């Protein structure tokens, strides 16, 4: 059985992620297949729109295939990960700038690499059990796949909060933060997709959408705006630690688990992406991921999270106060000849 099912049904190009046993984690071959299909369909008048969905109930896509990245990285084969991220980011940029409507159906977990596929689509659908997150700092990485672009455009300081704490968004939260557009109950998805296939018209989405659930993120926004407005990561951590209440407590707990170097770099990337393009955000994210296996905490983060599962990573820095400007620059300086090159939009 293929890891991805690509076909044309009626007026729709259909892309179904098909690794439910692995929470539809994205491989390089899957990324390549998505890019090829999108480029083929861009000039095909028979394809009016593209539909992304996924097999299984637990996840649209819970991220990239990080176990394979760990296997190659610990063997010193850093080029495997660098090539994976190059290809993935090209695919992310293609989805974000696609010339035809793209509709994604995001059930269960949509995290990391899944955000790069599903949340750059022009029309993003969530349901009752949707949980969306950028948890990269918890494994020594930064919000990538264009995630810094989405976080940078979230209202107020919500993006900084989500990126630094790895917090999960419910359906209502995702719509508030700009990671999703419409709430449609899961039981209505099959009929909605059939209509999209038959009519090739995204206007049907507005007719199917319902009022989204309440967003705790929107409720807590004034407090988050105050806590995460500081220029320095260290001051954000101090402010959250000094404040009272559940919001500050949860933020402090989230950041205490994450890699200090990754959070410092993520803060710069998110704020830098606020006024730029998704392509620029991807190029800047790649500066970090290109170096992450050798210079960062990525391999240690994967070891602690999914290999040994001890949840006790030994980060390079003991705390955020130990991360210097030079440390951040060393991860985010331009790459010269190794810089990410993105293809033209079809």
Whether 328 is covered by a domain: the verdict is yes
pLDDT tens sequence across 69-99: 999 999 999 999 999 999 999 999 999 999 9
Whether 321 is covered by a domain: the verdict is yes
- Flag whether pLDDT at 322 surpasses 70: yes
pLDDT tens sequence across 264-309: 999 999 999 999 999 999 999 999 999 999 999 999 999 999 999 9
pLDDT tens sequence across 20-77: 999 999 999 999 999 999 999 999 999 999 999 999 999 999 998 888 999 999 999 9
pLDDT tens sequence across 103-143: 999 999 999 999 999 999 999 999 999 999 999 999 999 99
pLDDT tier at 1, thresholds 50, 70, 90: low
pLDDT tens sequence across 221-243: 999 999 999 999 999 999 999 99
Whether 215 is covered by a domain: the verdict is yes
pLDDT (0 to 100) of residue 17: 98
Mean pLDDT of the chain: 96
- Flag whether pLDDT at 343 surpasses 80: no
- With helix as H, strand as E and coil as C, how does the chain read? CCCEEEEEECCEEEEEECCHHHCCCECHHHHHHHHHHHHHHHCCCCCCEEEEEECCCCEEECCECHHHHHHHHHCCCHHHHHHHHHHHHHHHHHHHCCCCCEEEEECEEEECHHHHHHCCCCEEEECCCCEEECCHHHHCCCCCCCHHHHHHCCCCCHHHHHHHHCCCECHHHHHHHCCCCEECCHHHHHHHHHHHHHHCCCHHHHHHCECCCCCHHHHHHHHHHHHCCCCCHHHHHHHHHHCCCHHHHHHHHHHHHCCHHHHHHHHHHHHHHCCCCHHHHHHHHHHHHHHHHHHCCHHHHHHHHHHCCCCCCCCCCCCHHHCCHHHHHHHHCCCHHHCCCCCCCC
pLDDT (0 to 100) of residue 65: 85
pLDDT (0 to 100) of residue 241: 97
CATH code for position 75? 3.90.226.10
Contact 127, 189 (CB under 8 A): yes
Whether 245 is covered by a domain: the verdict is yes
Whether 346 is covered by a domain: the verdict is no
Which residue range forms the structural domain that includes residue 61? 4-338
pLDDT (0 to 100) of residue 345: 53
Whether 79 is covered by a domain: the verdict is yes
* Count of domains observed in the chain: 1
pLDDT (0 to 100) of residue 5: 98
Whether 343 is covered by a domain: the verdict is no
pLDDT tens sequence across 167-188: 999 999 999 999 999 999 999 9
- Flag whether pLDDT at 344 surpasses 90: no
Whether 222 is covered by a domain: the verdict is yes
């Amino acid at each position: 059985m293929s890891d991805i099912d690509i076909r044309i049904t009626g007026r729709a190009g259909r892309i179904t992620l098909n690794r439910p046993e692995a929470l539809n984690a994205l491989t390089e071959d899957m990324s390549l297949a998505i890019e090829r299909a999108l480029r083929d369909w861009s000039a095909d008048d028979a394809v009016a729109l593209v539909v992304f969905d996924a097999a299984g109930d637990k996840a649209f896509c819970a991220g990239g295939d990080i176990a394979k990245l760990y296997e190659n990285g610990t063997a010193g084969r850093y080029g495997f990960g660098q090539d994976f991220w190059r290809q993935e980011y090209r695919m992310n940029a293609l989805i974000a700038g696609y010339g035809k409507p793209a509709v994604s159906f995001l059930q269960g977990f949509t995290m990391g690499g899944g955000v790069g596929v599903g949340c750059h689509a022009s029309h993003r659908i969530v349901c009752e059990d949707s949980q969306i997150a950028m948890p990269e700092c918890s494994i020594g990485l930064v919000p990538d796949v264009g995630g810094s672009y989405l976080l940078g455009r979230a209202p107020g300081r919500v993006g900084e909060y989500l990126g630094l704490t790895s917090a999960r968004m419910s359906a209502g939260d995702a719509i508030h933060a700009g990671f999703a557009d419409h709430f449609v109950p899961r039981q209505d998805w099959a009929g909605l997709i059939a209509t999209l296939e038959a009519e090739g018209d995204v206007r049907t989405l507005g007719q199917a959408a319902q009022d989204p659930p309440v967003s705790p993120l929107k409720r807590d926004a004034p407090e988050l705006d105050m806590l995460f407005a500081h220029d320095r990561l260290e001051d954000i951590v101090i402010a959250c630690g000094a404040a009272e209440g559940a919001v500050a407590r949860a933020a402090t707990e989230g950041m205490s688990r994450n890699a200090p170097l990754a959070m410092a770099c993520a803060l710069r990337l998110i704020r830098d992406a606020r006024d730029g393009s998704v392509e620029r955000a991807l190029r800047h994210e790649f500066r970090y991921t290109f170096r992450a296996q050798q210079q960062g905490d990525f391999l240690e983060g994967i070891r602690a999270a999914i290999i040994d599962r001890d949840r006790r990573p030994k980060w390079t820095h003991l705390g955020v106060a130990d991360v210097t400007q030079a440390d951040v620059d060393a991860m985010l300086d331009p790459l010269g000849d190794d810089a990410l090159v993105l293809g033209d939009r079809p």
